[in-house]
Amino acid sequence: MKIALAQLNYHIGNFESNTAKIIDHIQKAKKNGADLVVFAELCVSGYPARDFLEFDEFIDLCDESAKKIAAVCTDIACIIGLPTYNHKEEGKDLNNSAYFIENGQVKAVVNKALLPNYDVFDEYRYFEPSTEFNCIEFKGKKIALTICEDLWNTIENPLYITRPMDSLIHQQPDVMINIAASPFAYNHDEERIAILSDNASRYHLPLLYVNQIGAQTELIFDGGSLVFDNTGKLIDELPYFEENLAYYTLNEDASISFDHPTTLKAERAADIEQIHQAIILGIRDYFYKSGFKQAILGLSGGIDSAVVCALAAEALGAQNVMAVLLPSRFSSDHSLKDAEDLVNNLGCKSELVPIKNITGAIETALHPQFNNLPFNIAEENIQSRSRAILLMAMCNKFGYILLNTSNKSEAAVGYGTLYGDMCGGISVIGDVYKTQVFELARYINRDKEIIPINSIIKPPSAELRPDQKDTDSLPEYDILDKILAEYIENRRSSTDIIKMGYDEAIVRRVIRLTNLAEHKRYQTPPILRVSPKAFGMGRRMPIVGKYLS
Amino acid sequence: MKIALAQLNYHIGNFESNTAKIIDHIQKAKKNGADLVVFAELCVSGYPARDFLEFDEFIDLCDESAKKIAAVCTDIACIIGLPTYNHKEEGKDLNNSAYFIENGQVKAVVNKALLPNYDVFDEYRYFEPSTEFNCIEFKGKKIALTICEDLWNTIENPLYITRPMDSLIHQQPDVMINIAASPFAYNHDEERIAILSDNASRYHLPLLYVNQIGAQTELIFDGGSLVFDNTGKLIDELPYFEENLAYYTLNEDASISFDHPTTLKAERAADIEQIHQAIILGIRDYFYKSGFKQAILGLSGGIDSAVVCALAAEALGAQNVMAVLLPSRFSSDHSLKDAEDLVNNLGCKSELVPIKNITGAIETALHPQFNNLPFNIAEENIQSRSRAILLMAMCNKFGYILLNTSNKSEAAVGYGTLYGDMCGGISVIGDVYKTQVFELARYINRDKEIIPINSIIKPPSAELRPDQKDTDSLPEYDILDKILAEYIENRRSSTDIIKMGYDEAIVRRVIRLTNLAEHKRYQTPPILRVSPKAFGMGRRMPIVGKYLS
């Protein structure tokens, strides 16, 4: 049996484009002699469709698309994923379903049983879990078809009380197929391979796994579809961050063969390389799927905006990136020079708009109220917000989308100005700690100097008052980032982090700052997620709470 | 048996204050001869504690609090709600539990079985549902104790496949007790009474129901704890939006008696009266629980900011409200006059800060880029954002929190400026449609003119260009709001709304605008929730999606 795996980029709610893409790949697979072509979880609707799923019309449109897809399934079968109505009287209104389509008809429906409802996942908000498990017979073989999380109930820490394959295995299947919508995090590929390999070896079955690619606002799907033999050995791995259609033969002895050159990785890509690829796709899809082309950002001469500018130029083309230099009276000469060097290195567009007269006008207007009170955070924020007004005015006049340049370290501790440098349509490096931003800069410079070395080596500064340094207000980033990772990614308490050897006063202050900044993060743009725990939809904190603040 | 119902205001993660308040009410109830005092769901931690629940230390602190509470439970029993570890090997790490405490010991633990995971609720994110149901024996009576949603699986539209009372009834309980954390929406009290009454009559048992009060950022808990006899008749109803401790006697014949004057409502309060009360509590608790006292807002002379100013003055005291008049060259004379009248009527503080020189400086700075392009949305937004800078500067200098004054109609269709009038710490009327804002204004004026009549009767205008009216860009509000309610609250499709008789072009435009504004709403402040479907945590939409946009 020849099985094609279609690893594609879908667009939430764009039924026309998703359906056309699926049909196109069915035709291609048919031409190439495939018996079955497998698409990803919820490919018809795009994932995550979130509360669009609460609209009957949306579900009806999924059904219409499935009918169109079924109509072309002659002389080939396909597996597609879509939300469907739960026809049982009790339980939630929908199922997260896979259709097995053959001869123009839906021959079998498999509903997802294990519904992830942690981090960025909300599947139990919409779907009723399945409690019935049946293999699908096709061309003399029995297929155990499951959907993503269905294979993720690990032995060591079972999050669910059922395991669909434990039921399906009794029907003696010949092969497992799993369709997924599994988003990227820099450590997720290894975890995915380990868990799927464990399934293949535990059930002594070959396993074909299809993921999707593409970014849906903050979530980035990395592809990397996988094929395992029945010992759990990984025998093929599709490319990451790009579309692919690959063919496999399921032989009579349950072995799997293929004749394309494998893209199986000899060693895993470095985290920073993966993060770089993910962000490029994240920017590109955010613009493409929302129908915009041109990005704008403020370029300070510092490393964060330099890295974002370079990433945007790579994702959108330098000609589609407008860098605006917005010096204040506190900006150093080297900052302007570093920003100009970057613009020249990239070949992007740039403008210079000094803010001195604007901050002057604002301070003058507030003079009756401020009445010679000393310069403080109020005046610092006026500078940052004046820059935001100018950038947003250019967005409104020329149709740019503003890129946010905050990093995860400053987003954590609230070292940024709400409605100032925290503005933007999408946050590019908001899930990248400052120490990782340095790594990204060096990675971007791997072949030649793109980010000026001076932007990398000078001490970070917001330049909102004379001789300001980030370390005036914050611990050194190599300490700060480690504490933040323990608190945010690992959810350790201050007590536990202190026990690890970090300074007690610093730990308590960092965690307190992080919790106090919750109200700021609530109003920041969506953040491209590259870690297992990003700020945004995957981390839901009370704003008015007392714990640790 | 004498049972006390404690309807109290908790604070998420404030273990010290929650524990002290619970202990204080145990002591009071003991003094008054109660056998049992009942507190609300998750009272120990506050609700919703959201991802704080993922920190072991947080759960440990709940356990410590429970021990302190148990220590005072001598000669009286109590029921408290708290998150606890799930000790079973499989499933999620936590349970949403109720402790029945007697003689200083936890005598019984009840875990919630039906976990709401829709709208603002995320309980399946944290908790494993219970599958074991046991009555609690106490003083010769059997208590069927359930937690909130456990009684909400309706007969007509069962959202869950189990019904805890169907198991418990076999053990022949004498009384039902339900502890809840049920947030306010203007139509929710009637639904709550109907569903609970239905339970009491179906199981032929008296039912005591304890809700909490108080606002937790966007969610407002309204109290209104309830007592039903075994025919389903509502026999008592605690006050709404305030703390209360009330005593009931469960008699041998299963009747319930009490000797305090009932606050049972002869007729339900009007929606607008409830909304008004909810918002007052919402503002008050937002400031109190976050440790702030003083609010600031921009006063335009229009109805939205006038209503917010009046609500803030009632919630915080007029002396704690700073109204800032920020006229531009497009502000009409009557706007300034209307704003000044309101300030005088309320007795709040005010400042006048004209923005003309600031917008002038910004336009001058951008002249090289804008290069005589015609005045458009860019210049309009510069005005709105200049006001936001000034207001935020005053926040930073003097410690105010900025109140957002956007209404739900404009938040829906994106008729507002991101980082401009969409700024603020909390959105006061972001869940109140414009037509309801007029109702609120009339309600505020019910005894005397507080909101100037002219602010109510003049045609709404953003005053960002000469002679601008809201209706230049939007349908009339009485049409707009009805279409929005069908789309947002009722989740009807455009096709269905058109079938109801609304103009097709208007319906399609309104829905398209609403979906296109998702990226703006993502970055707006938390909104005090007063309707069954508010923007924010209860409505989760993709930003980059294609459906209906």
The phi, psi pair for A205, rounded to 5°, reads -135, 145
B89 CB neighbours in chain A (<8 A) are: 158
Q: Which residues of B touch A411 (CB under 8 A)?
A: none
> Does the beta-carbon distance from A92 to B159 stay under 8 Å?
yes
Is A425 labeled as ligand-binding?
Answer: no
Separation in Å, CA of B251 to nearest CA in chain A: 37
DSSP B392-444: HHHHHHH--EEEE---HHHHHHT-S-TTTTT--SEESSTTS-HHHHHHHHHHH
Tell which residue, B271, B287, B284, has the closest CA to residue B243.
B284
d(CA B486, CA B504): 14
Contact: B525, A523; criterion CB under 8 Å = yes
- pLDDT, one tens digit per residue, over A122-132 is 999 999 999 99
Rounded (10°) CA dihedral A114, A120, A125, A131: 0
A386 vs B contacts (CB less than 8 Å): 362, 389
Our CA-based measurement puts residue B71 at a distance from the nearest CA of chain A, in whole angstroms, of 23
Partner-chain residue, chosen from B14, B125, B496, that has the shortest CB–CB distance to A546: B14
Residue B265 token pair: 């409502």
- Calculate the CA dihedral of residues B520, B521, B524, B525 and round it to 10 degrees: 180
Q: What is the pLDDT of residues A463-514, one digit of tens each?
A: 899 888 988 889 999 999 999 999 999 999 999 999 999 999 999 999 999 9
Question: Is the ipTM here above 0.90?
Answer: yes
Helix (H), strand (E), coil (C) string for B294-315: CEEEEECCCHHHHHHHHHHHHH
Average pLDDT over residues A421-440: 98
Q: Could you give the strand order of the β-sheet that contains B234-237, starting from the edge strand earlier in sequence?
A: B136-138, B141-147, B175-179, B207-210, B226-228, B234-237
Pick from A12, A125, A524: which is nearest to B545 by CB? A12
Q: Which of A112, A141, A289, A434 is catalytic?
A: A112
* Predicted TM-score (pTM) of this structure: 0.97
Nearest-neighbour CA in chain B from A422: distance (Å) = 10
Q: In the predicted model, is pLDDT for residue A548 greater than 80?
A: no
Phi-psi region of A479 (alpha: psi -120 to 50; beta: other; left: phi over 0): alpha
How confident is the model at residue B331, as a pLDDT?
87
> Contact B80/B101 with Cβ under 8 angstroms?
yes
Nearest to A216 among B12, B386, B542 (CB): B542
Q: Which of A91, A397, A540 sits opposite B122 (nearest CB)?
A: A540
Q: Give me the residue label for tokens 């079968």.
A: A77
* Residue A264 confidence (pLDDT): 93
Q: Which two tokens stand for residue A298?
A: 């403020």
Q: How many Å separate Cα A32 from the centre of its chain?
A: 33
Cβ separation of A368 and B360 shorter than 8 Å? no
Helix, strand, coil percentages, rounded to 5, for chain B: 40, 20, 40
CA distance A432 to A411: 10
- Report pLDDT digits (tens) over B399-414: 999 999 999 999 999 9
- Omega before A532 within 30 of 0, i.e. cis: no
The answer for A469, left when phi > 0, alpha when psi is -120 to 50, beta otherwise, is beta
**Burial category of B161 from C-beta neighbours within 10 Å (exposed 0-12, middle 13-18, buried 19 and up):** middle
Contact yes or no for B390 and A366 at CB 8 A: yes
For the stretch A364-398, pLDDT in tens is 999 999 999 999 999 999 999 999 999 999 999 99
Chain B residues in contact with A540 (beta carbon < 8 A): 50-51, 122, 125, 537
Residue A265 annotated in active site: no
Out of B58, B353, B540, closest to residue A122 by CB? B540
How confident is the model over B195-239, as pLDDT tens digits?
999 999 999 999 999 999 999 999 999 999 999 999 999 999 999
At B289 the pLDDT is 96
Find all residues with CB under 8 Å of A266, minimum gap 6, and list them.
none
Catalytic residue among A43, A62, A135, A148: A148
Residue B500 one-letter amino acid = M
- Among the listed residues A21, A30, A41, A128, the single catalytic one is A41
Among residues A251, A60, A27, A543, which one has the least CA distance to residue B527? Answer: A543
pLDDT of res. A337: 94
pLDDT of residue B156: 80
User: Which sign, positive or negative, has the C-alpha torsion B486, B487, B491, B495?
Assistant: positive
Q: What three-state secondary structure class fits A473?
A: helix
Q: Which residue of B has its CA nearest to A523?
A: B523
Question: A200 pLDDT exceeds 90?
Answer: yes
Alpha-carbon span A462 to B301, nearest angstrom: 38
Q: Are residues B385 and A388, on separate chains, in Cβ contact within 8 Å? A: yes
Rg (CA), chain B: 26
A333 pLDDT tier (thresholds 50, 70, 90): confident
Give how far the C-alpha of residue B390 lies from the chain's centroid of Cα atoms, to the nearest Å.
29
Cβ atoms within 10 Å, residue A336: 16
At B60, the pLDDT band (50, 70, 90 cuts) reads very high
CB contact under 8 A, A361 and B365: no
Residue partners of A338: CB distance under 8 A and separation at least 6: A301, A302, A306, A452, A454, A455, A458
Residue A156 confidence (pLDDT) above 90? no
Is B547 a residue whose pLDDT tops 90? no
B95-123 per-position pLDDT tens digit: 999 999 999 999 999 999 999 999 999 99
CA distance A135 to chain B (A): 25
Residues of B with catalytic function: 41, 112, 148
**pLDDT single digits (tens) B468-508:** 898 888 999 999 999 999 999 999 999 999 999 999 999 99
Closest CA to B321 of B305, B310, B333: B310
CB contact under 8 A, B11 and A546: yes
CB pairs under 8 A between A and B: 278
Residue A546 has pLDDT above 90, yes or no: no
Whether the predicted pLDDT of B549 surpasses 80: no
